[in-house]
Amino acid sequence: MIKAAVDVERRIAALGGELHSDEEALLLADGSRQEHVWGINIYPDRPEAERVEFDSMINVRPSQGNRSRDVEDPAMRERILNVVSELVRP
């Protein structure tokens, strides 16, 4: 499993930190805005439909309507998957 933080606005990602917050911090230091950065787990050996898991503490955002570790908005999930498919190849 590879932890990643994805900036859906800038269409970039940081991968491989010990915690999602490590990658989030890198993206924020590089100019990303926190409301655009979401945490995921990537499982390279799984089939494509099961490769991305949307579970991370950095996803808990009541101010954005996301009250759990999961990315609850299907449209946001799709945006994240689009960025991942552009940047990560199995």
> What is the pTM for the complete model shown?
0.95
Query: Per residue in 2-16, pLDDT tens?
Result: 999 999 999 999 999
What range defines the domain where residue 33 resides? Answer: 2-87
Mean pLDDT within 68-84: 98
Best CA proximity match to 56, nearest among 75, 83, 86, 34: 34
Domain count, the chain: 1
Q: Is the pLDDT of residue 88 over 90?
A: no
pLDDT number for residue 90: 65
Number of neighbouring beta carbons within 10 Å of residue 42? 19
Residue 68 has pLDDT above 70, yes or no: yes
Q: How far apart are CA 71 and CA 60, in angstroms?
A: 8
Q: What is the mean pLDDT of residues 15-29?
A: 97
Calculate mean pLDDT across residues 48-52: 93
